[in-house]
Structure 1
């Protein structure tokens, strides 16, 4: 999810428009253990199955988002949980879970996912951030699996004691999520107070969002899409109602937000064109190649001493002017960053450049000495030779320009782009310049730009791993809606890549 500080939640006024008439009435909703008052960041574990509507949405073995059961077939989550490179088919729903390492929960596949038709996103916020997921088969309700109640539009939701629960990270910057289900209490913050902060004043949509906050307590990465819930006097505080959905914010449980303080301009001006800031070190194979201390190209670590990049990144430059930075997130923060020189580079022997395009635009750079893999530095997997990714969603990452006339980003940025089939690619305005070794991506307003060249286009596979499917190569302008972005098709060059990186070590597959 986006970095959190003061969490914002979508008000559930949209519920009446989203499957409300399909709620299963075979058992009472919202019945949990109301009497236990245990207190994610600043939270504590809950009793097992105390909140039997809570669901963990898993992306392979990684916690991706939270959700809540609302019928025996439907889950409620955030729209951004099935956006930005993640399709609902990539997710599994862990139902009836408390301990992530336990075995008592059930795993369900997702048969369908519907975002709100007016869902939109920019580099900071998500609007109408709500989605309904349909399970592949119906749930059997029990003491451990039960739906939460949905509020009616005439309920007074002010002055409620709110809870938020999930398995997300327990602090900003943590690399792993909580083993056990955690909860914490938060309180509503008046819209006028929330709007005092520049970032919230400019991005808060009062009709569909609300601020919730408590110093030192917050939701964090991995809690996105999870419910914020409360009991209500209408049912004598004996039932739980879902009041909101964890949506967006800045950092996790930092002080003085949203009441006061101005976030750094570095945060609010983040825009790879049309993209958003990547969670720090979430793409630990991505490297920055600088030239005389200026961002030059991107690349992807494929072994402990080899970087996959574009041929044009090395064709016209002296290697002694290039420096590779591995483990980088924020350009001006070198913590945990490894710096290497390039001892040798191999550009594909059929590389050819014209004023419009680069052909066979691929290169392998050899580092002057190997890196050691850790939680910040990990190699990317290669696809199978000839593997086709048309119709999939890819993610590009890099520190390149945020527009044709803008400066490079100070943070690693990401953008999700549909990968066109070869047939769709050949129907574009660039068809006269395309070759079978090229791959097209297109999304209105999103693209790689100068400085992103050579960076990876990755796809998340069902086995829980990312593979690099493309190398950012060329295009017309940046995010020009008339033209797709062009990438070197990695699956076409697998034998060549393995030949020139054979001396390196990588993680076992």
Structure 2
């Protein structure tokens, strides 16, 4: 667990160790951020044991690209020994000569029960899958280009699949060699495209991987998992990001419109892949209101916020959902934030074709002021940073999101400005949305939004 939020699954392999995926302690998440719940079935029942993690070691050859991680395996060390019981037991590790093909495998976890769901299951879920031959798995171009047969395996059953949040959880089975009396961990849930889709099996492996990509050090977002995020194009090129706040309004940055004619822009809503615009809503902008206090210097923009009105409303559905706004004055210091966008993957790099996300730690105002940006900062700004991960050019105007206990994301910030990309001396700077709630509502009236 990462705070109150389900982060990953895992399996007990000794009285001090948990086997999970390497990507579970990467991308802005440190092993010290995690709590391990042992003996849990019902997440609302408090009979389980909570332990801290004193060490987390991922495979030394763990690497990540836009779609998958290689050698995606990690061992977590607990802060105290487990007491085994009927509810808490270790799983066996298989020997090299054990064959699990043509056997029913079980995948278990509290992950989301369907693609696009915002909350995880209350109860531990399980489903049966079977190993899919590597050649069959590779019939999909995404798997063909990213599957490493030596360290990955595919498992699938139509309509049954591990889903987001089960990352790191076990894929397990009995084996004839021990007369089907012991459970063996065959794989670790690693990565896949969507949930339970034909020809897109979930890939678990004895040393594993995840859907991973960069907004500079981020990972590819599961398609439509952030359905409020929009791309603003100018002359058919990525210009800025934004977030749907009503069926007619997009929240973005003031600097995205200050020096450019919004009539030359187009907004793509319900988008994941810039090369696939099927079922994507295209809208023009009929009006833009930039905050009246917007000012700019060579280094920074102040009151960098704007509301753009679409020329026609959009219909909410599975791929188009408005983002929730925070309460006035709400603070997010020390929370984990998520940035999403199609922005450049580094200085002088091109935009991504797919929606990317990265996890960042939101700094307190004091931490922000201790950075080298001090003389340029104002109370209406907030900072967020994680080593090697940062919003980069092209993500301007996109949302900085925080997941709340209610199971919903709220927009804490608007990507505003920074110096370079992912430079530890200069955290990314965001417009504090909670300072502008009345202003935002004033300029997005008479439209449909979420409660």
Partner Cα separation in structure 2 for residue 293 and residue 131 of structure 1: 46
> Which runs of 5 or more structure 2 residues have no equivalent in the other structure?
203-209
Deviations 1:321-373 (A, max 9, x none): 11111111111212221122211111111100111110110111111222221
Whether 1:447 and 2:390 are equivalent positions in the alignment is: yes
1:199 aligns with 2:139: no
Q: Structure 2: how far apart are the matches of 1:493 and 1:257?
A: 44
The answer as to whether partners of 2:241 and 2:252 remain within 8 angstroms in 1 is yes
Tell me, yes or no, if the aligned pair for 2:161 and 2:201 is still in contact at 8 Å: no
- Equivalent-residue separation in structure 1 for 2:238 and 2:424 (angstroms): 25
Tell me what 2:127 maps to. Answer: 182
Write the mapping of 1:105-144 to structure 2, written as runs, cut at 5 A: 111-113=51-53, 116-118=56-58, 122-123=64-65, 124-125=68-69, 127-130=71-74, 132=76, 141-142=85-86
Contact 2:335/2:361 (<8 A) preserved: yes
SS in 1 for 2:347: coil
Is 1:236 the equivalent of 2:179? yes
Q: When the two structures are superposed, what TM-score results if normalisation uses the length of structure 1?
A: 0.71
- Relative distance call for 1:58 and 1:436 in structure 2 (3 A) is closer
TM-score, length basis structure 2: 0.79
Partner of 1:4: none
Based on CA coordinates, which of the two structures has the bigger radius of gyration?
1
* Matched residues, number: 424
Shift of 1:453: 0.2
Q: Structure 1 regions of 5+ residues with no counterpart?
A: 1-56, 259-266
2:243 aligned to which of 290, 300, 306: 300
Q: Answer yes or no: is the 8 Å Cα contact 1:219–1:246 preserved in 2.
A: no
**CA drift at 1:418:** 1.2
User: Separation in 2 of the partners of 1:269 and 1:235?
Assistant: 37
C-alpha displacement of 1:84? 4.6
- Determine the structure 1 residue equivalent to 2:206: none
Distance 1:80 1:110 in 2: 22
Determine the C-alpha separation between the residues in 2 that align with 1:257 and 1:184: 9
The offset of 1:409, in angstroms, is: 0.8
- The alpha-carbon distance between structure 1 residues 253 and 292, as it changes in their structure 2 partners (threshold 3 A), is closer
Q: Kindly tell me: are residues 183 and 94 of structure 1, through their superposed partners in 2, closer, same or farther at Cα, counting changes over 3 Å? A: farther
User: Does the CA-based 8 Å contact 1:425-1:439 persist in structure 2?
Assistant: yes
- Residue 427 of structure 2 is aligned to residue 480 of structure 1: no
Q: Is the 8 A contact 2:326 2:410 kept in 1?
A: yes
The CA distance in 2 between the partners of 1:187 and 1:149, in whole Å, is 23
Q: RCO higher in 1 or 2 (8 Å CA, sep ≥ 6)?
A: 1
Which stretch of structure 1 is more off in the superposition, 454-463 or 237-246?
Answer: 237-246
Q: CA deviation at 1:272?
A: 1.5
Q: Deviations over 1:84-125 (max 9, x none)?
A: 57796699889346xx9xx9x778585535663346552320
Partner-residue secondary structure (3-state), 1:361: coil
**3-state SS, counterpart of residue 289 of structure 2:** strand
User: What is the root-mean-square deviation in Å for CA atoms of aligned residues?
Assistant: 4.1
Q: 1:164 aligns with which of 90, 106, 121?
A: 106
Shift of 1:242: 2.3
How far off its partner does 1:63 sit?
Answer: 7.7
C-alpha contact 1:72 1:139 (8 A) present in aligned 2: yes
Question: Aligned partners of 2:288 and 2:37: how far apart in 1?
Answer: 41
Q: Distance in 2 between matches of 1:507 and 1:92?
A: 33
**What pairs up with 1:269-288 in 2 under 5 angstroms?**
271-288=214-231
Q: In 1, are the aligned partners of 2:129 and 2:156 still within 8 Å (CA)?
A: no
